[in-house]
Amino acid sequence: MTSARLHQALSQELWNQGKYDQALTSFQKAADVDPKLPEIHLAMSLIYLQQKKYDEALAEIERELSLVPDSQAAPATRAKIAAAKPASAP
């Protein structure tokens, strides 16, 4: 297992525990080691969405789509982000 995959596994565990900031840091380390590793940017976008950081979420989902153009989850996630973003506007 590569270092990036180890960080990805740790990130997933942290995310499952609700430790979002730590999970983001670990996902970022995985992306630094292997920026083309699938699903890292998708996961990061979902965490940002949970944190209502919509611009960051959109940036990460666009990275995921550039890496995995045929992703089934990425377009649905992008739609969730787009739907949530206007709802947060005053």
| pTM attached to this predicted model | 0.87
Place of tokens 């990460």: 60
* 3-state SS string for 53-87: CHHHHHHHHHHHHHHCCCCCHHHHHHHHHHHHHHH
Q: What is the pLDDT of residues 41-84, one digit of tens each?
A: 999 999 999 999 999 999 999 999 999 999 999 999 999 999 99
Q: Enumerate domains of the chain plus CATH numbers.
A: 3-84 (1.25.40.10)
In Å, what is the CA distance from 1 to each residue of 4, 40, 52? 8, 16, 33
pLDDT above 70 covers what percent of the chain?
94
